Structure 1
């Protein structure tokens, strides 16, 4: 769910070679730091890792939203395409499951992507478009699955989106102690929407007591809440 911007500034003329290099260094540094620390990482740390001054960062990206858009814009567009593919699925339930698995793979792999999808950040046009598209995709697939009798009649799209947002926020806490644990929790959540019990076992092993304690401690730490 990550990506990079173009060699142009605000869609204008191509940048000079030195300016383009600085922009690429800033994007690479931001991508690394956001993946490690989330979108709350200090901008001066990004400039320092890129080896440029703060003034250069703000000249290239005058707002935090502009930097985030440049870092994640391509990945957000990929997610839009995945949503379009899911809408065309012959089996709406399988389409929904595969689409949500793709979303959560990105949330688990990248703290920045997790923050992007589970918190409100202004001035990111691509993100605004994605959230609208995401809501429409989930609504459409859930409605089709309900029409087929696969999903409970009393489940609303708001029920599902709220539960997914809550699960998304705890993914970083479990990723370090049990990579892939989110798969089990996602499928357990989705099983609760079904009209009939699932016939296949849950993916991924359950957390051990020690892993659960470590994940809950990480969830409570400032680093996980940034």
Structure 2
């Protein structure tokens, strides 16, 4: 995939254009999904299509750069959970903080669940993050707190469902995400006599339109 220009090599006006494009993209993808056309992003950012494509040669490149900070935060959240000496507390904290993060910009959920065939670094980071959650889940199961039939796909279900939350203000969205996370954690807790879950569904990654 073609590389985007490094921000520190751009003139001030070019940097301003780049940041405005990214801000518009985050808002547009969060409100309308990743299918928003590149030309529409350019129109909302008040730049020409040529300027947009010069900064971000593909939709894939734009999506990845728009949510690079959120991906780094997601990775940090999971690393913090793994370092917690209490695996169940660490697992619960990951669910809570990840739901809060995704509620802050629902476009990130779409980006996290998207297929990026040419973005090796992004894909690798996502896989490493999911493997780390899997390891944390294994520890929480071994400690007897997480139900034994939890699978990593359940986390993806949580993210998809959390992305459907609609609220009038960011503060309300955060409150809703926290309550939703608490409800999910109660469902993940290992309880004597709890009935088994239905078989997990395969959740394919979505193409970036």
TM tier, shorter chain?
A: 0.7 to 0.9
CA deviation map 1:147-206 (0-9, x unaligned): 2122334x25xx2x2222223223333323774444444333333333337xxxxxxxxx
**TM-aligned CA distance change 1:54 to 1:150, over 3 Å:** same
1:34 aligns with 2:25: no
TM-superposed deviation, 1:126: 4.5
1:173–1:144 Cα change, 3 Å = closer
Aligned to 1:110: 105
Q: Is the 8 A contact 2:64 2:111 kept in 1?
A: no
Task: State the TM-score, normalized to the length of structure 1.
Answer: 0.71
Could you say what secondary structure the match of 1:174 adopts?
Answer: coil
1:98-140 Cα deviation digits (max 9, x unpaired): 1121111122221211201233244334431332222222111
TM-score, scaled to structure 2: 0.76
Instruction: Please state whether the residue corresponding to 2:163 is helix, strand or coil.
Output: helix
Greater relative contact order structure (CA < 8 Å, 6+ sep): 2
Q: Which runs of 5+ in 1 are unaligned?
A: 1-7, 198-225
Q: Could you say if the C-alpha distance between residues 15 and 185 of structure 1 is closer, same or farther in structure 2, counting changes exceeding 3 Å?
A: closer
> Given that residues 24 and 45 in structure 2 are in contact (C-alpha distance below 8 angstroms), is that contact kept between their aligned partners in structure 1?
yes
Alignment of 1:50-129 (within 5 A): 50-129=45-124
Offset, 1:144? 1.1
Structure 2 gap ranges (5+): 193-208
Structure 2: how far apart are the matches of 1:38 and 1:151? 33
Taking the aligned partners of 2:161 and 2:116, their CA distance within structure 1 comes to: 19
Task: Please show how residues 97-176 of structure 1 align to structure 2 within 5 Å.
Answer: 97-153=92-148, 155-156=149-150, 159=151, 161-176=152-167
Aligned-residue RMSD, C-alpha: 2.6
Selected match of 2:41 from 19, 24, 46: 46
